[in-house]
Structures are given as C-alpha cells and as structure tokens.
Amino acid sequence: MNHDSLGYWKATLALLARVLIIWFLVSFGAGILFADWLNTIKLGGYPLGFWFAQQGSMYIFIALIFYYAKKMGDIDRRFDVHED
C-alpha cells in the first residue's frame, strides 16, 4: 500500500491545474480574447470564434469531464486510494 498523501495531492492538483487552464483558454481565450483572429476561419459557414463561444466550448467542457474522471481514476489507483 502506498500512502503518500503529499504525492497524491500534488498529482491531483496538477491534474486540476491542467484542466482549469484548458477550461480558461477555451472559454475566455477562444470565446473572447482570440475571437477576432478565430473569426477569420469558418467552420460550417460560421466564424470559428462564434462557434467556440456558442457550441465548441461545451464540447470541450464535456470532453474535459471525461478526461478528468479517467485521469483521477488513474491517480487513485496509482496511490491505492481507489474504490472497488
């Protein structure tokens, strides 16, 4: 049994930081900061910045939920704190 609680929390916080950075870049970055630049690219006839602000960010957020759940399960198993 590996009871490295400091290592567990470091791994958990590193995963959380990665997910939050991606969330910020997609929501604030693609939808607001880089919208003008992204609007020069069309996706399905719509400007990409508009698409990210309206729909694309939701797809990314759902993917982030599954990614977080998978990686958190991996971390739990690595530190032997997983559920059976």
Q: What are the structural domain ranges in the chain?
A: 5-78
- E-only strand ranges, 1-84: 42-43, 46-47
> Over the stretch 59-75, which tens digit does the pLDDT of each residue have?
999 999 999 999 999 99
Which pLDDT band, with edges at 50, 70 and 90, does 3 fall under? Answer: low
Contact, 47 vs 38, CB < 8 A? yes
**Within 13 Å, how many C-alpha atoms sit on residue 81's CB side?**
13
> What percent of the chain is helix, strand and coil (3-state, nearest 5)?
75, 5, 20
Three-class SS of residue 43?
Answer: strand
